[in-house]
């Protein structure tokens, strides 16, 4: 089991009524009939098992030869791996993520790593026409060539569209290792595919257990009746709160190591739903730190924020608060308590304070601690939820035409498409 859903700020009867009213639409999502011609390759994670052996084999070779893998990608091409590695802290080959910014300072850090470390590159791009990963790959590839000469190609892995895909052609021409970016999956839905799994495997994540968690969650969510289905309830609650005037949804984490996961969630919901009025703006808060930054706004500011508390943590820590007899620091009321208790108390204190003032709070509670298996469940829970939530909102969850606006301006200013004189 991954998450169970509770809500303050809406009566449960209203949620049930909304689900029953939209049951036909919801059933079309549960059966994958909605947008059936679209990129639904993520819907059944069993398909990832087909590429598992190839991923693990190549990952083992990378681990044996290199002590650093620089992963070059942006958005959906890297956020899943960032999330998993951050949450699970695997102990194999180190990863450095690049190609997600146009900061020359950040690029210089990556170049120094190529110069100083025994590094390989993994470039991930479905179409390979985005500037950030494209130009970063060029700069780091040039550095590899300066350092290793004709053998530099042995240090490059490309993940892109097969067939006529540009990265596929380049990989064939220059003898790079190549893995296919599934044609029927968009970037932000790719976390349980080769795109996310390969860099995770190199880092040491147990990807077999991760996929198993995704498969189990798929089986659970596609068989539960709508009224008892946590993904359906979460999607329904989000849409109801939007209709009642909420504008922002903040995923609230209580483990800083889940920040990458929260950033993955932000893109998943923002890019899938942000196409019309009524779409909640996704962001995240990291408590307890952010209670000292935006807690005042949440408690007494405009009633536009939905907090989604993620009750998902690590196994209990053995840390216990030691008494301080020599120095009277006035924290003696905490003596001999398990340190975990503090996080549990601030969780409940913040939830109660906000809910008691009729601030809407969704609670997603997991009975399992953070692990590869439960993280696979969590990834799939949100993939499935945003699919259903988008259907209820009335938008296609698989398009992102709005991002082309700034790109057209940028390409125009940079002269893309011009024929320059010799």
Which residues are annotated as catalytic? 271, 292, 407
Strand arrangement of the beta sheet that strand 248-253 belongs to: 3-8, 361-366, 305-311, 248-253, 281-286
**317, 238, 318: which is closest to 270 by C-alpha?**
238
How buried is 294 (Cβ within 10 angstroms: 0-12 exposed, 13-18 middle, 19+ buried)? middle
Residue pair 161/168 in contact by the 8 Å Cβ criterion: yes
- Tell me the Cα Rg of the chain: 23
Instruction: Give 160-220 as a 3 state SS string.
Output: ECCCCCHHHHHHHHHCCEEEECCCCCCHHHCCCCHHHHHHHHHHCCCHHHHHHHHHHHHHH
Q: Print burial letters for 204-213: b (CB count within 10 Å at least 16), e (below 16).
A: bbbbbebbbb
Secondary structure letter of residue 75 according to DSSP: G
Residue pair 43/388 in contact by the 8 Å Cβ criterion: no
Residues 6+ apart with CB under 8 A from 27: 33, 226
Residue 353, SS3 per DSSP: helix
**131, 166, 371, 396: which is closest to 255 by C-alpha?**
371
């Amino acid at each position: 089991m991954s998450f169970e859903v509770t809500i303050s700020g809406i009566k449960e009867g209203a949620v049930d009524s909304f689900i029953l009213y939209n049951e036909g639409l919801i059933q079309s999502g549960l059966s994958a009939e909605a947008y059936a011609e679209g990129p639904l390759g993520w819907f059944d994670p069993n398909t990832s098992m087909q590429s598992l052996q190839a991923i693990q084999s190549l990952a083992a070779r990378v681990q044996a030869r290199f002590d650093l893998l620089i992963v070059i990608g942006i958005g959906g091409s890297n956020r899943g791996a960032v999330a998993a590695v951050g949450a699970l802290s695997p102990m194999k080959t180190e990863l450095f993520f690049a190609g997600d910014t146009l900061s020359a300072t950040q690029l210089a850090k990556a170049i120094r790593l190529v110069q100083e470390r025994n590094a390989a590159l993994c470039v991930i791009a479905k179409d390979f026409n985005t500037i950030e990963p494209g130009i970063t790959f060029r700069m780091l590839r040039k550095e590899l060539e300066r350092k290793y000469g004709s053998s530099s190609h042995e240090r490059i892995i490309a993940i892109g569209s097969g067939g006529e895909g540009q990265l596929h052609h380049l990989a064939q021409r220059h003898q790079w290792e190549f893995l296919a970016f599934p044609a029927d999956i968009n970037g932000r839905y790719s976390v349980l595919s080769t795109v996310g799994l390969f860099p995770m495997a190199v880092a040491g994540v147990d990807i077999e257990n991760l996929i198993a968690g995704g498969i189990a969650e798929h089986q659970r969510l596609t068989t539960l009746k709508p009224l008892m289905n946590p993904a359906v309830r979460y999607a329904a609650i989000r849409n109801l709160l939007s209709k009642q005037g909420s504008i922002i949804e903040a995923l609230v984490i209580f483990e800083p190591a889940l920040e990458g996961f929260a950033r993955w969630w932000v893109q998943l919901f923002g890019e899938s739903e942000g196409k019309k009025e009524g779409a909640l703006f996704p962001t995240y808060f990291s408590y307890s730190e952010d209670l000292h930054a935006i807690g005042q706004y949440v408690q007494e500011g405009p009633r536009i924020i939905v907090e989604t508390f993620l009750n998902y943590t690590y196994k209990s820590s053995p840390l216990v608060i030691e008494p301080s007899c020599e120095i009277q620091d006035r924290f003696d009321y905490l003596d001999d308590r398990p340190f975990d208790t503090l996080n549990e108390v601030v969780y409940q204190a913040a939830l109660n304070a906000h809910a008691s003032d009729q601030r809407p709070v969704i609670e997603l509670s997991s009975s399992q601690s953070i692990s590869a298996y439960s993280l696979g469940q969590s990834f799939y829970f949100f993939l499935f939820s945003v699919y259903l939530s988008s259907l209820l909102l009335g938008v296609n969850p698989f398009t992102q035409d709005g991002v082309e606006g700034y790109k057209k301006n940028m390409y125009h200013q940079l002269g893309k498409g011009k024929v320059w004189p010799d």
